[in-house]
Amino acid sequence: MPKTKARTARRSAGRSSRPRTRRTTLTLPEDLLRQVERLALQRHQTVSAAIATLIEAPLRQLEARDRNGNVWDLLHKSIEGLTEEEQMLIDGIVMEKPGTDSA
């Protein structure tokens, strides 16, 4: 294995419990940034860690909402425009003419 790759592998193995991070530049409204800095100070965190904590939960919720909403819509689409009898059949209610009951 080439030297550089081995070093990368060792480094990532040692930090396996920590999520990978990436540097970026954000432009935030000044007052918002001040609030985040205050919060980070109170929590003994870096500003990056404070921002990550703040956005993680809402992002997860947003993802769940998109996924769930899609499932409801697809489910609704699968019975939309059907007659009452057809919908009953799809719900598992099989109607027959009386006298054909075999039980």
Residue 88 interacts with another protein (CB under 8 A): yes or no: yes
**CB-side exposure of 81: number of CA atoms within 13 Å?**
2
Per CB under 8 A, contacts with another protein among 68-87 are 68-72, 74-79, 81-82, 86
What are 23's two structure tokens? 């540097």
Please tell me the distance from the alpha carbon of residue 99 to that of residue 78, in angstroms, as a whole number.
Answer: 32
Is residue 6 at the binding interface for another protein, with CB under 8 A as the rule? no
Asked if 51 and 36 count as a contact pair (C-beta separation under 8 A), the reply is: yes
58 binds another protein (CB under 8 A): no
Shortest distance in whole angstroms from residue 3 CB to another protein? 40
Contact residues for another protein (CB under 8 A)?
61, 64-72, 74-79, 81-82, 86, 88-98, 100-103
